[in-house]
Amino acid sequence: MRIPIIAGNWKMNLGQVGEAVQFVRQIRPGLSEIEAVDVVLCPPFTVLATLSEILAPSKIGLGAQTMHWEQGGAHTGEISGGMLAELCQFVILGHSERRASTPVFESDEAIRKRIGAAFACGLTPIVCVGENQEQFKAGQTDAIVSGQVEKAVSDLEQGQVERMIIAYEPIWAIGTGEAATPADANRVIGLTIRRVIADVFGESVAQAVRIQYGGSVNESNIHEFMAMPDIDGALVGGASLKPGFVDLVRNAA
């Protein structure tokens, strides 16, 4: 049985200690009452330390939004998995805003290295994959997504794949208010992503890994995604920054 998991990706928002603490105090009581789904908050680095103390007594998880693959050294501005592991349990890797946008531009290879390093540090990666609008229109979704998943898992052991979380996020659905249809998202997750994993690691691993949908998920549409057999929760951007996030998680449960 896969336990659904809802993760809130705050992106570059609520990164000042006062605002982050105020928001978490507001949503924590409601989130703590919800048993049936796992919840993870992924705020900016600047508030991880403070929130790790506030969230420690609860079962709400905490995650970062990226990390470097090296443990340390001359990498100005970067943060390693070891630094994060003291503060949180999860790390989002390969988000499309980091794959595609300057000045970041992360390659599949850089993401693969980050995933391995995250596991080595005891973190659970939430690995994002998804096609852009042009690729979607050209019918290349399955090819793009399988390529990304193949590269992401290429160095991993079976037990790591079972523990990792994958987020299928069509780029054209992120922040646009135009979510994928639940049936389409379910098809990509069930037939494309789980098949790639089954081909490499076998069917039982493919059935064990938790795969979220992400892209314009909100409290009104979450239940349609949760009703799909292959979708195990959501990676939520904009709707995770408002008190309504509690209703979103409740509706998911």
Active site residues: 95, 169
Contact flag: residue 65 with ligand PGA (CB under 6 A): no
Contact flag: residue 174 with ligand PGA (CB under 6 A): yes
Residues 81, 125, 182, 214: which binds ligand PGA (CB under 6 A)?
214
One-letter amino acid at 161 equals V
Q: Which two tokens stand for residue 171?
A: 């780029």
Contact flag: residue 169 with ligand PGA (CB under 6 A): yes
> Which letter does DSSP use for residue 36 in this model?
S
Residues 9, 148, 192, 212: which binds ligand PGA (CB under 6 A)?
9
Residue with smaller CB distance to ligand PGA, 201 or 212 = 212
The Cα–Cα gap between 130 and 141 comes to: 7
The Cα–Cα gap between 164 and 27 comes to: 26
Contact flag: residue 94 with ligand PGA (CB under 6 A): no
Q: Which two tokens stand for residue 60?
A: 């709400």
CA atoms within 13 A on the CB side of 143: 6
Q: CB under 6 A: which stretch of 55-63, 119-127, 168-176, 203-211 binds ligand PGA?
A: 168-176
Contact flag: residue 131 with ligand PGA (CB under 6 A): no
Contact flag: residue 216 with ligand PGA (CB under 6 A): yes
Give which of 9, 35, 1 is closest to 174, Cα–Cα: 9
Interface ranges with ligand PGA (CB under 6 A): 9, 169, 174-175, 214-217, 235-239
